[in-house]
Amino acid sequence: MANKEVILTKEGFTKLEAEYKELKNIRRGEVSERIRIAKGFGDLSENAEYDAAKNEQAQVEERIYKLQEMLAHAKIIKEEEIDDQIVGVGSHVKIRDLEFDEVEEYIVVGSTEADPFQNRISNESPVGRALLGHSAGAFVDVEVPNGEIVKYEILEISR
């Protein structure tokens, strides 16, 4: 991940920044305290509490490092930079699946913010990648992981 630009919305940047601060300023101290208490239980070679706390410490430190890297290489997409004529990162897109005549709405975001359950699709996903650069009224073909081609019509683009 080193030096890879991380594309984020302002909202996504704020969420990552809050997680980073919480891990660094609160969780790190809580885990250190758990390690200190677990050391008091005696022999470290058979101390499950100590092992668990050390594993948690490693996970917290790894996440802190990853967040630090993401924040350092973040490119924040500003609302005024989002083109409502062409699909790009930050675009709200309404599309119609031509086979099933179903309308779906998505926000195209960077891979860090992707959450399909919140209709936030990555610009690196098959659908996101296929939509990029197209305008309303365009038809796009998306090759899904199983190799099939799904056809969509872009109905609407907004900020």
Give dist(CA 26, CA 24) in Å, integer. 6
CATH architecture of the domain with range 6-77: Orthogonal Bundle (1.10)
Q: pTM of the entire structure?
A: 0.76
Q: Which structure tokens are listed for 46? A: 């058979």
The pLDDT, as a whole number, for residue 43 is: 75
The pLDDT, as a whole number, for residue 1 is: 45
- What CATH number should be reported for the domain whose range is 79-158? 3.10.50.30
Q: In whole angstroms, what separates CA 83 from the centre of its chain? A: 21
List the domain boundaries for the chain.
6-77, 79-158
Q: Which of 16-25, 31-40, 43-52 has the highest mean pLDDT?
A: 16-25
Q: In whole angstroms, what separates CA 70 from the centre of its chain? A: 11
Give dist(CA 32, CA 37) in Å, integer. 9
Across 123-138, average pLDDT: 95
SS3 content of the chain, % helix, strand, coil (to 5): 45, 25, 25
Across 39-55, average pLDDT: 84
